[in-house]
Amino acid sequence: MAKTSLLIDQGNTRIKWVWARNGELEKESAGSGGFDAFQADCRSHGRLVPDAVLLSSVAGMEKTKPIAGFCASEWGVEPQLLESTRERGGVKNGYDLPGMLGVDRWLAIVGAVSRHGAPVVIWDHGTATTLDAVDENGQHLGGLILPGPETMLVSLRKNTKLRIPEILEIAFGAGASEPGPGVPPARATSGCISHGVLAAQLGALNQFLRNVTVQMSRQPVLVITGGAASPILPLLDFDYIHDPWLVFRGMLVGP
């Protein structure tokens, strides 16, 4: 592992990045934004030159090329474009065609096992919500994909005349009593919508756990990640680990 690495997660709408030294994330260096913000932040590090640049991208080559070009011109370092593989860090990809598993999702799975052990369930909240399970032998058991909380709200906003709450209101919902575990019925339309979205997310988790735990020798660790995870956390009345760094952790795991 290179002494100094720049880790880049290129999504469809924004870039996220963080520096690592000797295999450890320097969390205070993390940033996110567009390409201009990425360039400015990298140049703010002065003479710091990465020994390696690791790049995960789901955005396609059109958006990836400028990042690669910047790294080559700024430091003379060609980024290593990461892909989903049949095995990484002792985790065996459960897809029949391993390359079809999204690379960010794959790296989050690998990062979760590396950091938190197995068996493990990864519950990732973003534009989409994904659920993945790995048994105690490192075998990925497959997963589920459903619309994320905000995507559900956007769909309702687009296709109905209802007054839809913004994502920042979703945690407690208008018309609810005090926040607490579980999703109670609400007494206003906006609250019913936000509670319904949260209930759908929790219902998917419960269904997933019911199916995968019978394939494991013991109860899995639940690891929650993703930019849309925060509204979910106050509603949980069971043990979990919140780790927003899983994709970057997976990048640092060797093949």
**Domains of the chain with bracketed CATH:** 4-81 (3.30.420.40), 83-255 (3.30.420.40)
In this prediction, residues 21-35 reach a mean pLDDT of 95
Hey, is 101 helix, strand or coil?
A: coil
pLDDT of the residue at 6: 97
How does DSSP classify residue 139?
Answer: B
Residue holding tokens 């906003």? 157
Q: Which residue has the higher pLDDT, 14 or 13?
A: 14
Q: Report the C-alpha gap between 172 and 51 in whole angstroms.
A: 45
CA gyration radius for the chain? 19
Residue showing tokens 């995968």: 212
Gap between the terminal Cα atoms of the chain: 11
Q: Which residues are catalytic?
A: 104
DSSP 3-state of 126 = coil
> What is the per-residue pLDDT for 238?
87
pLDDT more than 70, % of the chain: 91
Give me the amino acid identity at 83: E
* Phi (first) and psi of residue 147, to 5 degrees: -60, 140
Q: Model-level pTM?
A: 0.90
pLDDT for 49 = 93
Q: Which of 83-97, 106-120, 146-160 has the lowest mean pLDDT?
A: 146-160
Q: Judge contact between 74 and 43, C-beta under 8 A.
A: yes
> Does 131 or 11 have the greater pLDDT score?
131
The pLDDT, as a whole number, for residue 230 is 83
Q: What is the mean pLDDT of residues 92-97?
A: 98
* pLDDT at residue 164, as a whole number: 58
Mean pLDDT over the full length of the chain: 89
pLDDT of residue 178: 45
Distance in angstroms (rounded) separating the CA atoms of residues 194 and 215: 33
Paired tokens of 104? 């960010």
Residue 203 pLDDT = 93
Residue listed under structure tokens 């509603």: 235
Alpha helix ranges (H) inside the chain: 35-43, 61-75, 103-116, 149-159, 189-212, 246-251
pLDDT-derived band of residue 48, with 50, 70 and 90 as boundaries?
confident
pLDDT, tens digit, 9 for 90 and up, residues 148-207: 988 888 888 777 776 655 543 544 333 334 445 567 888 877 778 878 888 899 999 999
